[in-house]
Amino acid sequence: MEVEEEVRRIVDQVKELHDSATSFVSASSQEELSLRQRSSVVDASIRRLHSTLVSDKHLDPKLFDKLEEDLQRARCLLADGDTSSFLPFKPQGRFVRMFLGPVNVRASRKDIQLKVKEEYNSYRDRTALLFLVFPAILLTLRSYVWYGCLPAFPVQLYEAWLLFLYAGLVMRENILRANGSDIRSWWLYHHYCAMAMALVSLTWEIKGQPNCVQKQKGVRLFLQWAMMQGVAMLLQNRYQRQRLYTRIALGKAKRMDVVWGETSGVDGQLWLLCPILFTLQGFEAYVGLQLLRTALTGVVAEWQVLICGILLVVMAIGNFINTVETLMVKSRFKAKMKRSKSKAELD
């Protein structure tokens, strides 16, 4: 009978615990709804005030700069604190919904969001090194072991790794964007194109002898471009992230912001990064045009070659446009800072 009494006591405790948990969840839900409404109102007020500042042509420039900086810091504080989990969030991308379904991937706590960002940075660091090493090994073996002719399996293994790499990047970037990161739309489209190219190239038959050198020219150029992109990614991961941390400390960027990739550079490294980026984009377009030429002249008359060539040209043009837009934004910002400094010295 003692066992019967013990079971009855446990059942009563579970019911009591269930009622307490239900009451707590109900109260928490009401408080959460209130916080969401207040956060939404404050966020809308910040956006409205920013629009008012921009449209007010009679405002003193010095006062305008001060008020704009204050609003920017208020926006960063709102987005970087625990309040960020109560702000309206961007809808999840189709890519995430396609693989995970209608699951909410937005973290409720800021420390979890920052862990997602750190894991993304770590993933980029690892893949940037492999981006450089993997094609370098293939080209070295081609020259010294395979007598100038790449076998199909190692190349297709590399293409399968590229598909895995870009799918992982796109998944992480969509989740970061849902959690308040500032990743540009083009950066996601770029990775969609790269993922499609990797998928298509997996069905591309790698031609061997005879006339192996001419038939594999596009593959060789693509591997050389991949090595250049690996170098650019390593430089950006190192230099741009340091600059981003400085901007976060100054309240000019959010903690969830990330380095945008091979379309941007930051002040202080532009002389180093911009030539590399423009060279990389030019070489990417060249490789794409060579693939198109190879397909259209009948050297390797396969639809995969044609599609890969088109995708490379599209990505090169998109990257170039985004780099130019980034440089123009930085140029306008530097001109604005110089004007503010000159007015301050005159005053």
Give the model confidence (pLDDT) of 98-124 as tens digits.
888 877 777 777 777 778 888 888 888
pLDDT value for 192: 92
pLDDT at 217 over 60: yes
- For residues 162 and 228, state if they share a domain: yes
**Non-local CB neighbours of 257 within 8 Å, separated by 6+ positions:** 181, 182, 244, 247, 248
Between 298 and 193, name the one with better pLDDT.
193
Task: Please give the average per-residue pLDDT across 252-275, as a whole number.
Answer: 55
Q: How far apart are CA 129 and CA 99, in angstroms?
A: 27
Residues in the chain: 347
- For residues 68 and 139, state if they share a domain: no
- For residues 203 and 262, state if they share a domain: yes
- For residues 79 and 208, state if they share a domain: no
| pLDDT mean across residues, the chain | 77
pLDDT value for 263: 41
pLDDT at 19 over 60: yes
- For residues 70 and 108, state if they share a domain: no
pLDDT at 127 over 70: yes
pLDDT value for 91: 66
167 within a domain of the structure (yes/no)? yes
Task: Please give the average per-residue pLDDT across 249-271, as a whole number.
Answer: 51
pLDDT value for 8: 84
Lowest mean pLDDT among 140-144, 192-196, 260-264: 260-264
52 within a domain of the structure (yes/no)? yes
- For residues 67 and 147, state if they share a domain: no
180 within a domain of the structure (yes/no)? yes
Task: Please give the average per-residue pLDDT across 169-197, as a whole number.
Answer: 86
251 within a domain of the structure (yes/no)? yes
Task: Please give the average per-residue pLDDT across 46-71, as a whole number.
Answer: 78
Domain endpoint, select from 54, 87, 120 = 87
- Enumerate the H helices of the chain as residue ranges: 2-55, 61-80, 94-100, 110-144, 152-178, 185-201, 212-215, 217-249, 270-296, 303-346
94 within a domain of the structure (yes/no)? no
The string of pLDDT tens digits covering residues 273-326 is 778 788 888 888 888 898 888 878 876 667 888 888 899 999 999 989 988 887
22 within a domain of the structure (yes/no)? yes
Angle between helices 2-55 and 61-80 (to 10 degrees): 170
The domain in which residue 72 lies consists of 1-87
Give how many domains the chain has, as a whole number: 2
Sign of the dihedral through C-alpha 134, 138, 139, 140: positive
pLDDT value for 274: 77
pLDDT at 245 over 60: no
pLDDT value for 317: 93
Kindly report the number of other CB atoms within 10 A of residue 131's CB atom. 23
95 within a domain of the structure (yes/no)? no
